[in-house]
Structures are given as C-alpha cells and as structure tokens.
Amino acid sequence: MVAIPSESGRLSVDALLDALEARGLHRVVCEGGASLTGQFLASGRVDEICLTTAARVVLPALPLAADEAPVDDSYALTALAVDDSGSTYARWSRIR
C-alpha cells in the first residue's frame, strides 16, 4: 500500500505516479469514471488511451472525462478493432 496525499480531496496524479515509479512501476493501466480520467488527462502524463465504443446510444449521456483544467492534447490512432456487435476498440497514442 502506498499513501498518497490528496489535493483538496482529490487524487494527486503526480504524487501517485511518482510513488509508483520510485517502486519500479513505470507503466500504469487506469480504469475509472469521468473524474479520474479527467484528473489523469489534466496531469499531462497520459501516453495512451484505449477507448471502447458500444454500438448503442443511452441518454442522458455521461462525460468521458471531467476536470476543470484545460486539456488540448493530440493523439494518433494506432489500432482499431470492430467486433460482431459493432463495438469498436480503439488505441490512441499521444503525439508529443
């Protein structure tokens, strides 16, 4: 277990990733809701996004990512698969 300080009740992404890297963990797979996704994207430390899209529309829609920090990063599609139901599985790599 690694204790990580919070920033106003929110996860400190930089503190978390720095603590894991100090323990030899250089790659992290993160799954979460809009708040967690937004915090990681706002940190500027996301190198890859794997996005699954279902062939279905459900309203009201939920945001993919939520954070007050502005983010304007570019990603390139590096892999795309489609299954028999029409769902897509896309892998995007950050362009630096």
Q: What is the pLDDT of residue 88?
A: 98
pTM of the model: 0.83
Contacts of 15 (CB under 8 A, 6+ apart): 4, 5
Look at residue 70 and tell me whether its pLDDT is greater than 80.
yes
Write down the H helix ranges in the chain. 13-22, 34-43
Question: What domains can you pick out in the chain, each with its CATH number?
Answer: 6-95 (3.40.430.10)
Share of the chain above pLDDT 90, in %: 68
Look at residue 32 and tell me whether its pLDDT is greater than 90.
no
